[in-house]
Structures are given as structure tokens and as C-alpha cells.
Structure 1
Amino acid sequence: MNKSYVTLFLSAILFCLNGCSMVYDKHVQWETPKPESFPVLHAIGQAPISLQKSTHKTQQMLMAINASKLAAYAELAEQVYGQQIDGKTSMSNLLINNQQLDASIKGIIRGAKVVKSYPVGDSYTTELSLDFKDVYELYIASTNGKKIKNVQYY
């Protein structure tokens, strides 16, 4: 009689565990949360014209335009992602022998717009702006940045 109770008890446990592991069909409704406000970032990049590696004035100007635009994008990436700073100091006899400091920026900037691009003396300046409303819309269009609104099990 004890064996039958044990068998019945184990059967009930296995039945319950099997019921817990059943896969249900479900329908998930997604909702995309929208931030309340969007910041607008501004960046300025500059590059010298006469120091560009070309003998033609027009080509030097075009190279400075591109260099100033890249400098402005680097400044935007720094504002969005920050800078990684690596430092190293070596000492000998309690005196500093060598100090090194390296900075790097890594990131993707999408949706930035050129506000102005103009020469100032012997340098070229480019101004960029990055509206995070545009970044948000690009993100929503390209990914599934969503949260669960409702789940229905069948």
C-alpha cells in the first residue's frame, strides 16, 4: 500500500512538472516608448588650408573642407559616446621618467546635419548639429526598439 501512494505521488509530481513545461501559443503586442524631450548637440571642426598636402589651391581647399567636417564629426562622437583616456607613468628613483596620455573616440553618428561650412582666414570651419529626435526616428525605423504592451496566451 505504501508503494502505491509513492507511485501516485510521483505520478502527480511528474504530471505537474509536465504541465509547467508546456509551450503556449501567444500573441505579443509591442509598444514603442517615446522620450519626452530630445537634446540638440552642436559641434565645430576646423582644418588649416595651406597645410594640406597638395600644390593646388582648390584641392587644398577641398581637403580642408573634408578635414574640418571629419573634425566636427569627431567632436559629435565625443559628446555622444565620451572619450576613452589611457594614461601611463613610469618612475625611477622616485622621479617620473615618462608620462603618456592617449585619448580615443569610437562611435557611430547618424542623422547629423551640416549647419555651415565656411573659410576663416587660412582655415576652414564646419558646424554640425545632431537633433536626437532625428536619431530616435532613425533608430525606430531600423530596429525593434520596443517594449511589450500586452501578451495573450491561447
Structure 2
Amino acid sequence: MKRRLYFILALFIIVITFNSCGATNSGIFAQPDMEKNTSYHDFKGFGIIDYKTFPHEAQAKLAALEAARQDAYTKAVEYVYGTYIDSSTTVKDFVMQNKEIESKLYGLIKGAQEINQGFDMNEGMAWVVIRIYKKDIENIIGKRIKYF
């Protein structure tokens, strides 16, 4: 019985391994591929189409596009400025009582261009791709970027 269980478990692991090896980076969540030595960086954001909050299809799609746009800008700010994370943990008698993690993001992005947008109706999502050029990032941070 134990031997049979190990065999089934091994077979399951092999199937999962081969299945994941064939996965491509072309799904909705795939980030844009960056070519080497390009003078720009692309950021892809996502937004859920919410028909409960917005019963009209056009309104739900516009709200999802705006959420995707904000997500793309958030990713750009994280890339340019980084993210500040503050955490605190309370331990009493060697048992964790409370753990809080707070993340803050501040930044100004100038020169970003929306280069693509669309919907994946199978996933119920909208997506937006924005592009920021190296020169604009250098203007934002006030110094030249050696390795981009």
C-alpha cells in the first residue's frame, strides 16, 4: 500500500514538472519582454472587470482599464524609486502575538506613454502597458543610469 502511494506521488510530481516546463510566458500575466540595450522599460498593469459594482458593461470595462493603468504606474514607481516597507512584530512568552507589515509608495512619473491596452474576457481582466524611456527616468532621479 505504501509503495503504491509513493508511486502515485512520484508520478504526480513528474507530470507537474513536465507540464510546468512547457509553460510559456505568453499568458495575460506575462510582463513585456525587454530587449537588451533598449532605451525604455515597459510596465504591464491589470484590472478586474467588476460587473457587480458597475452593472453597465462599458462602465465596468472603463473602470477596469483605469485600475490597470494605475497598477502599471504603481509598478513603474516601484521600479524607479523602490518600495518602503515597515514591519513590527510583538512576541510574548515566545509566541507571536501580532505582526504588521505596511508598505508605502511615493513617486512622480513623468514621460510615461501608454503603448497598449486590451481585455482578456476569459479572465475577466483589462490590461495596460506603459513605457518609460531611460532619459525620462534619469531626469526623475537626477542622475545617469549606468546599467539599465
Task: Give the alignment's TM-score, normalised by structure 2.
Answer: 0.63
Deviations 1:29-64 (A, max 9, x none): xxxxxxxx9842221110100256211111010011
Higher radius of gyration, 1 or 2: 1
Partner of 1:148: none
Q: Quick check: 2:47–2:68 contact (8 Å CA) kept in 1?
A: yes
Partner of 1:71: 71
Task: Give the alignment's TM-score, normalised by structure 1.
Answer: 0.60
What SS is found at the alignment partner of 2:107? Answer: coil
Give 1:48's aligned amino acid.
I
What SS is found at the alignment partner of 2:96? Answer: strand
Partner of 2:48: 48
Relative to its length, the structure with more strand (as a share) is 1
Instruction: Judge which range, 97-106 or 72-81, deviates more.
Output: 97-106
Q: How many residues align?
A: 104
RMSD (Å) for aligned C-alpha atoms:
2.5
Structure with the bigger RCO (C-alpha within 8 Å, sep 6+) is 1
The equivalent position to 1:125 in structure 2, one of 116, 124, 127, is 127
Q: Percent identity?
A: 22
Partner of 1:95: 95
How far, CA to CA, are the matches of 1:128 and 1:52 in structure 2? 28
How far, CA to CA, are the matches of 2:89 and 2:82 in structure 1? 23
Q: Quick check: 2:51–2:57 contact (8 Å CA) kept in 1?
A: no
Question: Alpha-carbon deviation of 1:103?
Answer: 1.1
What SS is found at the alignment partner of 2:55? Answer: coil
Q: Quick check: 2:44–2:128 contact (8 Å CA) kept in 1?
A: yes
| Structure 2: gaps (5+ residues) | 1-36, 143-148
Aligned CA distance change for structure 1 residues 136 and 88 (closer, same or farther; 3 Å)? closer
Q: Quick check: 1:117–1:124 contact (8 Å CA) kept in 2?
A: yes
Give 2:134's aligned amino acid.
F
Q: Quick check: 1:52–1:64 contact (8 Å CA) kept in 2?
A: no
How far, CA to CA, are the matches of 1:99 and 1:57 in structure 2? 40
